[in-house]
Amino acid sequence: MASGSGTGVTSTGRGGGATSSYSTPASLLPSAINAAPSASYIVSSHPLSSSASSSMGPTDLALSRSFIPRTSSLKDSMESYRAYRDERKEPHGVLRTYDILGFLSSGTYGRVYKARLKEDNALALKRNRRAAGSGAFSRTAAAERDAKILAEEESNVFAIKKFKPDKEEQTGYTGISQSAMREIALNRELSHINLVTLREVILEDKAIYMVFAYAEHDLLQLIHHHHVTLRSSISSAVLKSILHQLLYGLSYLHSHAVLHRDLKPANILLTSSGILKIADLGLARLSSQPLQSLYTGDKVVVTIWYRSPELLLGARHYGTAVDVWAVGCIWGELLALRPMFKGDEAKGDGKKGTPFQGDQLKRIVEVLGTPTKDRWNDIDLMPEYKTWWPHLRLEGYPGALYHWYTVRAKTSSGFDLLENLLQYDPAKRLSAAQALDHPWFKEMPLPTAE
């Protein structure tokens, strides 16, 4: 740290490791510390004295005591001590650690920025990598996994997601949003080559920042590039590799009882080396042994064009099949270079509950045909079926998925897998793990890991 006229402070790293020194300019120190200590500010019998003396050096202890008024209550003493501690804390924050390179995107959650690790921090990171790779621990399977994750950080470029408060008009601290809590908790526990890697979480100025490994593209950009710039379809080899990686990452999530609940092209990233990364776990939920129905916590999940029929008909209980349906919709979009079921979303006024998405259901029936009892035995048990279905006039539609697929794919290869991902009945849909074992992935061209 830059030094100058002021007070030198030495801090010890976690676990009693290496120490770091820095100087605090005298102008930034409280007047109680700059001035000669007066009798009214030093109390040897202060409640903090005994506990502080065990973990502080003589200089630190004298400084902390001088910062606490003689007449303060225990509560005021603690607040004064915290202010002193924050004053002498080694600086750490977003702008102290990263150089912001530009703006990437924004949404209901907040904004995402592209950033590069500052040079001093990058050098420290490289030293840590070398140290981690030199010991016996580096030969374990866990370290091999971590080495893959660290390899993603070699460019020292990251994506920083800044969450905005729940109520921006309030100047006070409103706490952490449910979406942020979910995403932080799950990303800290999950680790897979096809999931985005969380590097760290920073809480600064009452804002939450999540720092992720950077991925250069997403599937929405890929679709737009082929549709507008190249004006050509995505090759079967690339499409098959994307789907295989997507199902591989999704199978990992589902094996850990995690539902993503918002799979769509914009939330699926691609690195420059072609590795797919599932992102945005803000709507994700653990599905094992829920205390209440998933519908109770979140009445609207999954972006409308990728929402499964059971969700559209108001299912109170659902499982991993909602994510599998979304994969089928994404596959169709990669083929057609436009959303497969592009319905018009009905907007609610917030007073009459969640609006029924009849047009979206109609778009699905136009391609898949009318769902009969043979195709979906429990359709009449769906909460919205008796209320809305008779008014939709969707009887007698023939199935057109085979024609839809072969016209765009120029082959029937792969149709069986798509059909089994887009089954009306969630119980009949393949799981992500079952889809990975489908014979289509064993046909040429074979999918690659990149």
Q: Which residues are catalytic?
A: 262
Residues near 258 by beta carbon (within 8 Å), at least 6 away in sequence = 186, 190, 281, 284, 285, 286, 287
Q: Give the bridge partners for 404, in sequence order.
A: none
Q: Which H/E stretch holds residue 276?
A: strand 276-278
Q: How would DSSP label each residue in 353-376?
A: -SPP-HHHHHHHHHHH----TTT-
Residue 331: which of 229, 250, 231, 442 has the closest Cα? 250
Structure tokens given for 51: 């506990």
Q: Where are the alpha helices (DSSP H) in 89-216?
A: 94-97, 119-134, 141-151, 178-189
Structure tokens given for 398: 């023939």
Q: Hey, how many other C-beta atoms are within 10 angstroms of the C-beta on 196? A: 24
Rounded Cα distance between 418 and 426, Å, is: 14
Which amino acid belongs to residue 367?
A: V
Angle at 309 between CA 307 and CA 313, to 5 degrees: 105
SS3 category, 91: coil
Backbone angles phi, psi at 111, to 5 degrees: -135, 155
**How far does Cα 345 stand from its chain's mean position?**
25
Q: Which H/E stretch holds residue 207?
A: strand 207-213
Residue with tokens 């119980």: 427
Q: How far is CA 416 from CA 270, 326, 370, in A?
A: 26, 16, 19
Structure tokens given for 424: 């009306």
Structure tokens given for 274: 């072609």
Asked if residues 37 and 52 have their Cβ atoms less than 8 Å apart, the reply is: no
